[in-house]
Amino acid sequence: MTVAVSPNLEANIAEALRVKEALGQRLILIHIGERTAKGEEKLKEVFEKYQIDQENTDLIWKNGDQVNAILKVCAEKKVDLLVASATPREGLLKYYRGSIARGLVRKSNCSILLMTYPNELKSKYPKIVVNGLDHPKTAYTIEMAIRVGECFQSTELVIAEEVVPSRVAKHMEDDKNLEQAKKGIQKKEAKRIENILTGIKMPERLKVSQKYLFGKPGYSIGHFTEQFQANLLVMNSPDTKLGFLDRVFTHDLEYILSELPSDLLIVHSSEPSL
Which domains, from first to last, does the chain contain? Answer: 2-267 (3.40.50.12370)
Q: 112 near 81, Cβ under 8 Å?
A: yes
- Residue 3 scores a pLDDT above 90: no
Mean pLDDT of the chain: 82
pTM: 0.85
pLDDT at 90: 52
Higher pLDDT, 253 or 267: 267
Q: What is the mean pLDDT of residues 175-194?
A: 79
| Confidence tier at 7 by pLDDT (50, 70, 90) | low
pLDDT at 98: 46
pLDDT at 272: 41
Give 91-143 pLDDT, tens digit per residue.
443 433 447 777 888 788 899 999 888 776 666 899 999 999 888 999 999 99
| Confidence tier at 145 by pLDDT (50, 70, 90) | very high
pLDDT at 263: 93
